[in-house]
Chains A and B, each alone.
Chain A
């Protein structure tokens, strides 16, 4: 085998170019940035092992696994409830070994951990018009009265399966689709935000 330089590429790298687009008036209504180096694992509890899994996660990561469409975060690691008995474990940085090793260590016999770090494209969305833009596809009520920091939803938007969660009260959202749908996601987001102007950062 020869020494090859083979570099990873993020899901949206071919489609995102930094800059201000759409309506040039005022400050951009939507800010879009890609999360590139995250680690993501699908965690599923085995039969009757939900509580044991819950305890194990609590000991290892010091969080209570959400029992619904919510997200809990501690020290750069989040758990997102995506279905009954199923979560995403999300690490801000890939840190592949450490993150997965710790997960393996605690999940072990109580459930499965399947690496999904490459299966998803995730964008971080913020800006004064972020709710208006998202309302053009997301049927979930994202109003501050209904959906706040720590809330998550796995739903459809613009014919795409998405998982979305809110990370601060700005609000800032993280929105994820299957990697291969990345360009369609951006087509929808950029068309929907063009009237407000959007910035890719």
Chain B
């Protein structure tokens, strides 16, 4: 019968809205307002899953986010979510849930045989059991353990939903929407402070949703509704439901996860599934409530054994009756309220076993559901009581988790028998049950007081309100940490299958520190972080090691309070939005040409321009190099960093930054510059032009642009604040193209305005000039070359970047112009022996790169002293040379190590390594650049080039690193 355990009346469910769902493929019906757990209970389903280690049958244990047992796979396909707590999953029409950790079925699970081997599977078994023979580890043991381990399976395929990250700000953050939280939000909200109220559930009210209590002589829910209405009417209050505050961070920052659309089949169009917030709060009130503690007795994990408070929640809030014949097992007055609730709902309470009266339940009996309990009295008499439900109540643990996130350690309190918040995160106060003030009256009073205090300290003036009055409540209790008599496994941590005997074992084996015991037994290390289990574990460790709980101490909690999907932390930044992308001025044009792009840092740059779709990178590169060297090619070089440096000390500053001298550079000229780090290794390089007496334009490598700018700022602000200079990055202001090749000047003549004389005499190699192009557009022209050809770089304001490349191509057509990409650029620089990123790797000095002469001896500069340390100048320190395959055809590989022809590979025999390689279409051979011990003395000699990664071992000839036009005749045109 459908919903056979649904009570005919009551509950906060909407009986007019029936919702269909499936569990393990079977169809059921529930109502709007149900959780998956309450709907399963209403349908009399008590077996939900199998346990982690022993595969024991497990049911629903709690009614909240502390649930250790009822973990299911929700949804399917790419949306599948393993280990979803049925107790917090809101029911929606079409919900699909599947039990996990069982095979072939939930009813019959082969791995439940593990229970028989439990003596071998105790705490730390994996450290002991799989030791011998060692050779079995990788082959047999590890794969077997891996197959058996884990809970649930991950989804296959990309998550089809999108997630967001956001920021929020408030004066007062209230964590928890129960009575204390509502009261705090109300007083703070009325003061005008900006308030954010977060609750992990979809409805505000906390325990008032579950227990029938009164406020001001009326049902407490009336007060909840009135308060909620008032809060909603305040513009300065933001109510966030389905929003868990999962972490506390420095400076009043709180992590919040909002489950925007977890309660529907798929998020509506354009909406995110979840959103993570970073909330910055001046003050916060933690009103997270408390979590009920279970009793530890034999086979206390059987489906049908539940927390007493959960039973009341299912009956009062969801009108779902978890059992018909109940035994209440309690150490507190709480048990009587559970019993009353059960009776009122029509269940029969078979017995109330109150530990304070000397009776205990020592074991639950039954197969896949509890059928009876064994009760033992003070005299040792055992009796059986038939039942299908056991309400287990052993007091409450304040939810102190968030107070620990900045290192606060909870403090044991003998009066309340619980850990109270220790040192609090700055700006946070704790209200209500989270401080072991367990009555509703306490919660209301605390909430009013702390809400108003928080508002006051955040700079507002809160009215001092008198808290409303609730009815009398008794919270007397005396916890019992375990029942030692009787048979059966006494579970402490249900999710990790940790029993009291595991704690005893840990103690016997010397793991007496609470931190060691936790890790040895894995107590509290499951996804529930031991919300229901930790205290019993600590108490038992204390008992067996003859210490009090206070002496044993506690481990502390880390974020997140409940599991958070990684997708929600990544937000928008997945796939191509993982990092932002920078597009060059010619990007759109290059796309139209069919360019293949590659990432260089954040930039997308054209790698090559295939002539036809079938042309691969190597053929395209060869063609681009040959045509550029024979005619003319154009390449977008806008990505190089450009820094405008001005001021009367600009020249002096550059002399200190660069190894060379820039104060002697005439206006209108360009010089190659090399800069070192403080430690004497090369940092970056580029050309710098002097545009005016006190005005330079520095260029950097593409990758180095940001760090060079920071370096300059650091040097100015920290090292030499007395210098009068100012920098501005102008990388993005200018679209810059390199036009290279024998015909470059002819192409350029078509672009520049007639006033510009491009002749060698007027504008020789290494010149710079401000000019106009295309009828008056300002431009900067540089006669510099990376390719070794006669080449120019022309910069125009970026708004003309797209138009100018189209113009260059159109005007260059008659001279045979082609665009070239990074592959051709790289090949041409290797042919010319220019160093680039692979050589400027942070491990090379100017001397190593054959650039020692560029370090001026007439002045000091950053890195000079350290680059001259003795070890840096040793003659056999590897030095920059070129390489060619001896056979003329073998491919060279970057990263290959050099060895003498007759030596075997070893660290001692290592002579250096290959840094850059390329196929040179000019030399029709692979060529390479690298560093080699005594390299300059080995010119013409042969060495082995060994690359185990790629499996190559070839003989290469050591040669000069300049393979092409060694005297630079071509670039001087």
Contacts and interface: CB of A to CB of B under 8 A. Distances in A.
Q: Do A and B form a real pair?
A: yes
Interface of A: 1-4, 6-11, 14, 22-23, 42, 44-47, 111-112, 114-120, 135-139, 141, 143, 145-146, 158-160, 178-185, 187-188, 191-192, 194-195, 197
Contacts of B597: none
A158 B647 contact: no
A42, A45, A47: which has the most chain B beta carbons within 10 Å? A47
A1 B583 contact: no
A118 B799 contact: yes
A10 B777 CA distance: 16
B774 A6 contact: yes
B800 interface: yes
Interface string B161-201: 01011111100000000000000000000000010000000
A42 B728 contact: yes
A111 B573 CA distance: 39
28 contacts: A1-B752, A1-B774, A4-B751, A6-B774, A6-B775, A6-B803, A11-B799, A23-B269, A47-B647, A47-B722, A111-B726, A112-B644, A112-B728, A114-B644, A115-B797, A116-B728, A116-B733, A117-B733, A117-B797, A117-B799, A119-B731, A135-B167, A159-B579, A178-B582, A178-B732, A184-B582, A191-B572, A195-B270
A23 B270 contact: yes
Given A180-B582, A180-B584, A194-B270, A8 B800 contact: yes
A1, A2, A188, A191: which has the most chain B beta carbons within 10 Å? A1
B582 A1 contact: no
Contacts of A158: 572-573, 580
Given A6-B775, A112-B726, 5 more contacts: A4-B774, A8-B803, A42-B728, A116-B728, A117-B799
Contacts of A188: 572, 577
A115 B169 contact: no
B270 A6 contact: no
Contacts of A141: 167, 169, 280
Contact of A179 (B727, B798, B807): B798
A116 B732 CA distance: 8
A4 B807 contact: yes
Nearest to A187: B577
Contacts of A9: 799-803
Contacts of B603: 180
A28 to B, nearest CB: 12
Contacts of A137: 165, 167, 572
B573 A159 contact: yes
Contacts of B646: 112, 114
Contacts of B774: 1, 4, 6
Contacts of B577: 184, 187-188, 191
Given A23-B269, A114-B644, A180-B583, A136 B166 contact: yes
B580 A159 contact: yes
B164 to A, nearest CB: 6
Contact of A145 (B165, B166, B194): B194
Interface in B232-285: 269-272, 278, 280
Nearest to A10: B799
B753 interface: yes
B807 to A, nearest CB: 6
The 3 closest A-B pairs by CB, nearest first: A118-B798, A184-B580, A8-B799
A14 B588 contact: yes
B905 interface: no
Contacts of A120: 732
B94 interface: no
A86 B647 CA distance: 15
A152 B64 CA distance: 44
Nearest to B269: A23
A128 to B, nearest CB: 14
A192 B577 CA distance: 13
B891 interface: no
Interface string B727-739: 1111111110000
A164 to B, nearest CB: 13
A141 to B, nearest CB: 4
A191 B570 CA distance: 14
B968 interface: no
B649 to A, nearest CB: 9
B647 A195 contact: no
Contacts of A11: 798-799
A10 B801 CA distance: 10
Contacts of B671: none
B572 A183 contact: no
Contacts of B588: 14
A118 to B, nearest CB: 4
A192 B164 contact: yes
Contacts of A197: 270
A112 B577 CA distance: 36
A4 B775 contact: yes
B580 A139 contact: no
Nearest to A191: B572
B749 interface: yes
B79 interface: no
A116 B169 CA distance: 33
A14 B592 CA distance: 13
A178 B734 CA distance: 12
A43 B66 CA distance: 58
B471 interface: no
Contact of A195 (B272, B571, B580, B582): B272
A107 to B, nearest CB: 11
A191 B162 contact: yes
A114 B581 contact: no
Contacts of B286: none
Contacts of A119: 729-733, 798
Contacts of A191: 162, 572, 577
Nearest to B755: A1
Nearest to A44: B726
B750 interface: yes
A6 B772 CA distance: 13
Contacts of A179: 732, 798
Given A179-B732, A191-B572, A136 B270 contact: no
A7 B803 contact: yes
A40 B171 CA distance: 37
B754 interface: yes
Nearest to B724: A47
A111 B728 CA distance: 12
Nearest to B573: A159
A184 B751 CA distance: 32
B453 to A, nearest CB: 21
B372 to A, nearest CB: 54
Nearest to A159: B580
Contact of A114 (B162, B728, B775, B804): B728
B587 to A, nearest CB: 8
Contacts of A14: 588
Nearest to B803: A6
A182 B750 CA distance: 31
A192 B572 CA distance: 8
Given A112-B728, A180-B582, A192-B572, A1 B751 contact: yes
A46 B777 CA distance: 29
A98 B166 CA distance: 42
Contacts of B269: 23
Given A6-B807, A159-B573, A181 B582 contact: yes
A117 B278 CA distance: 34
B754 A1 contact: yes
B797 A118 contact: yes
Contact of B730 (A45, A116, A143, A182): A116
A121 to B, nearest CB: 9
Contacts of A143: 169, 194
Interface string B768-797: 000000110100000000000000000001
A197 B734 CA distance: 35
A1 B799 contact: no
A68 B742 CA distance: 53
A47 B164 CA distance: 44
